[in-house]
Amino acid sequence: MIQIQAPDGTIIQFPDGTDDATIDRVMRQAFAPNTATPEPDVPAERPQSQQLMDQYKQAEAAGDYETADRLLREASYAATQDGTAPDSVAFNPATGRMEDMDLRQGRGRLDAAAQGLGQGVSFGTMDEVVGGLYGMTGPGTYEQNRDYALASMRSDLASARENHPVIAYGSEIGGGALSSIGGATALGVRAAPTLGGRVAQGAAIGGAEGALYGFGTGEGVENRFSNAGRGALIGAGTGALSPIAIEGGRRAFDYALGGPIASARSAPSQVRASRAVQSAVDRSGRSLDEIDAALRQASIEGQPMYSVADATGYSGQRMLAGAARTPGDGRQQIIEHLASRQDGQARRIGGFLDEGLNAPRNTGNLPVIPGNNPADFTGMTAEQVRGRLTGARGRAADVAYDAARQGAGPVDVRGALAAIDDRIGPMQGSGVTGDGIDATLSRYRSRLASQPGGEAYQGASSVELSDFDRVLGVKQSIQDDIGAAVRAGRNNEARELGRISAQLDEALESASPAYRQANDDFARSSRVIDQIDAGSAATRPSARVDNTLSSYNALSMDEQAAFRSGYADPIMGRLENAAPGVNNARPLLSEGSRAELGAMARDPELLQRQITRENDMFRTANAASGGSMTADNLADEADISSLSANPVINLLSGRWGAAASQLGDAALNAISGRNTATREEIARLLMSGDVRGAVAPAVQRQIQNAKSSAVVEALMRSMERVGNPY
């Protein structure tokens, strides 16, 4: 029974279940203000709502809470009727109270947002968490408090989803994405660089998140694990498909709008050009760090012209070749740059060989020339090296032989005379003319001895030369004749004279101990000089690599220096005379040349890198301008066609093929977004030596895309979880 007191003190009763409209109509009549004009000395009656509030306070003070609650309901209703309540305040029959409807509506939205956000962030466990906390802090037992909090939280969430579905579900999806991104950041998970990697990564993350959400929203052990399994499967599928959908949408937009927009711009697209270079880096099979290190090392090692196209190998070379064979202003710049670089190849390789083979290293026993290291043969031909070593040998010999003359005793030349007589003795007095060597030997015999003794020594059968200086002079003359005979190919004469020279050497050494040392030094210097010719002979096609290496390794340090000079000289001569456009690096990359240069070069690995780079640069130039001229001719034809007539003129003139080609090229360029300026920018980046700067725009865009993709993927996974009740 509903009882309401009227202003005159009467009690109005309504049966239980009376509708609000009937109560409202009756109450309006009962609570209608008194319209009679009051007496002048009687103050105006206070509003009904205030009178009821006074009664409410009296009942509250008296402890009659039931009556106080009824009076408060009546006062609330009366305030909405007599105009004392604010405009936004209305009577809520469900609660029996006045409520600020604007505040109530706003609070409902905030509550819905908070409910959804908490549910999403906690992976569906917010009600359990709040229930557990209230279970430990509430007035009842843990189970009573927990069950009360669980029921209240779930009721509030259901009400929020029903009354404010967009806010509740939207905040829950956002909360799930927020927890996903935050968890990945805390665990140090970074987006995979490739689409395949992101698919696998998304499947793993989605499966884990789905399992957690399914477990958190379940009831009981069996149901929780069942939900976790379904959540893991559905979450893994969603996580795997999300990167594909995002990338597909991005590419579709790029092809539908990005390409035409970029083509309409006259300026180059830095991102597209950079992305092209990055694709060349990816296809090369080398990491960005490896290519960057290779370019830096090339610059340090004397090849700053080594470019991104060279370091990326076939992929970069073919991409640059495509730009070089496409009509446009950049075509000429590419070809001229590559041709100019190739023209200096022979000079650069020659410098590398000179530095690697002729530069000074630990000097052995070569005579020291004041102010000049004889082992430093850089920038010298083999003949210049020979002249330097011969001069050093002569100066050292003059000093050594002068010392040998001091205190020298008589020289016994009988051994040399015996050797001469063994050769020409049988012919003396026979009347038979011997060969040319006989005359030469007879001449030297007459310089060493006289038969008979002569006027000064009458009666003596023979007079022999014993003065050290004179005998040394004879020996040196014989040595000169030996050299002339060798050069003329008179090997027999050289051999016979060598026997006499050896006998005189023994006699001179016996007469002066210092002569032996001088002789040894001279012979050692001569052997060094002889290695110049040996090194030159090692470069002939008939020379065997194994023989060259074994001979070189058996030489002394000084002899190896001379050998290297002779070895480098003919190679550098061929480089100087090489025809333009020839790959001078390729012969030096053969297995034999690698082995020989590896044994002789001061820094074999450095020299090998330099030669390999020169080969790479030749291949780049050859890919752009070498090979068949068909592509160049087609490019020329397209260039002339674009200048002479546009597609409309060609169509009107009946040149259907030319018009179709021009329209096709224009459509392809518009779709791809690679206008002329962008293609020229790609070529410029490929010919630069800064690979990080070249790919920086693409990397930056990739980082931005990865960040945005991570957010969208997290939202998609969260949307699946929230929309799927498992």
669 in Cβ contact with 328 (< 8 Å): no
164 in Cβ contact with 112 (< 8 Å): yes
Tokens 């002079």, located at residue: 473
386 in Cβ contact with 526 (< 8 Å): no
Q: Which two tokens stand for residue 100?
A: 């600020």
CA distances from 447 to 384, 401, 441, 477, 536 (A): 36, 21, 10, 11, 39
Cα–Cα distance measured from residue 11 to residue 74, given in angstroms and rounded to the nearest whole number: 12
How confident is the model at residue 439, as a pLDDT? 84
Q: Which two tokens stand for residue 365?
A: 């026993």
234 in Cβ contact with 210 (< 8 Å): yes
How confident is the model at residue 34, as a pLDDT? 47
287 in Cβ contact with 697 (< 8 Å): no
The yes-or-no verdict on residue 266 having pLDDT over 50 is: yes
Question: How many helices (H) and strands (E) in the chain?
Answer: 31, 6
How confident is the model at residue 94, as a pLDDT? 45
Split at pLDDT 50, 70, 90, the class of 673 is very low
pLDDT tens column, 54-76: 887 888 788 787 787 777 777 77
Split at pLDDT 50, 70, 90, the class of 101 is very low
Residues with Cβ within 8 Å of residue 361, at least 6 apart in sequence: 375, 561, 602
The yes-or-no verdict on residue 492 having pLDDT over 70 is: yes
**Sign of the dihedral defined by the CA atoms of residues 465, 466, 472, 478, in that order:** positive
**Sign of the dihedral defined by the CA atoms of residues 356, 359, 361, 364, in that order:** positive
The number of angstroms, rounded, from the C-alpha of 719 to the middle of its chain's C-alpha atoms is 38
User: 174-178, 306-310, 433-437, 649-653: lowest mean pLDDT where?
Assistant: 649-653
Split at pLDDT 50, 70, 90, the class of 652 is low
Q: Which two tokens stand for residue 455?
A: 């006027």
Cα–Cα distance measured from residue 261 to residue 280, given in angstroms and rounded to the nearest whole number: 24
The yes-or-no verdict on residue 78 having pLDDT over 80 is: no
Split at pLDDT 50, 70, 90, the class of 401 is confident
Q: Which run of H or E residues covers position 207?
A: helix 195-217
Of residues 264 and 17, the one with the higher pLDDT is 17
User: 94-98, 172-176, 235-239, 526-530: lowest mean pLDDT where?
Assistant: 94-98
Q: Is the peptide bond before 604 cis (omega within 30 degrees of 0)?
A: no
Q: Which run of H or E residues covers position 97?
A: strand 97-100
Split at pLDDT 50, 70, 90, the class of 703 is low
Tokens 């044994």, located at residue: 599
The yes-or-no verdict on residue 409 having pLDDT over 50 is: yes
The yes-or-no verdict on residue 627 having pLDDT over 90 is: no
User: 7-16, 422-431, 560-569, 663-672: lowest mean pLDDT where?
Assistant: 663-672
Cα–Cα distance measured from residue 104 to residue 110, given in angstroms and rounded to the nearest whole number: 10
180 in Cβ contact with 209 (< 8 Å): yes
As a whole number, mean pLDDT of residues 23-27 equals 64
Residue 551, burial from CB neighbour count under 10 angstroms (0-12, 13-18, 19+): middle
Cα–Cα distance measured from residue 319 to residue 337, given in angstroms and rounded to the nearest whole number: 16
Of residues 432 and 691, the one with the higher pLDDT is 691
Residue 717, burial from CB neighbour count under 10 angstroms (0-12, 13-18, 19+): buried
Cα–Cα distance measured from residue 614 to residue 620, given in angstroms and rounded to the nearest whole number: 10
Cα–Cα distance measured from residue 230 to residue 238, given in angstroms and rounded to the nearest whole number: 12
Specify the pTM.
0.59
How confident is the model at residue 207, as a pLDDT? 79
Cα–Cα distance measured from residue 212 to residue 234, given in angstroms and rounded to the nearest whole number: 12
Tokens 């009509």, located at residue: 327
As a whole number, mean pLDDT of residues 528-554 equals 94
Backbone angles phi, psi at 609, to 5 degrees: -65, -40
The upper half-sphere exposure of residue 551, i.e. CA atoms within 13 Å in the direction of its Cβ, equals: 20
SS3 518: helix
Residues with Cβ within 8 Å of residue 286, at least 6 apart in sequence: 294, 311, 312, 313
Of residues 617 and 168, the one with the higher pLDDT is 617
The yes-or-no verdict on residue 465 having pLDDT over 80 is: yes
How confident is the model at residue 563, as a pLDDT? 95
> Above pLDDT 70, what percent of the chain?
73
SS3 94: coil
From 274, 344, 272, select the one nearest 576 (Cα to Cα): 344
CB atoms within 10 A of CB 488: 10
pLDDT tens column, 179-227: 777 777 777 777 776 777 778 877 888 778 778 777 777 777 777 788 7
The yes-or-no verdict on residue 562 having pLDDT over 90 is: yes
pLDDT tens column, 296-305: 999 999 999 9
Tokens 């579905």, located at residue: 165
User: 102-106, 385-389, 456-460, 620-624: lowest mean pLDDT where?
Assistant: 102-106
How confident is the model at residue 636, as a pLDDT? 46
The upper half-sphere exposure of residue 279, i.e. CA atoms within 13 Å in the direction of its Cβ, equals: 10
How confident is the model at residue 54, as a pLDDT? 82
Quote the mean pLDDT of the chain: 77
SS3 449: strand
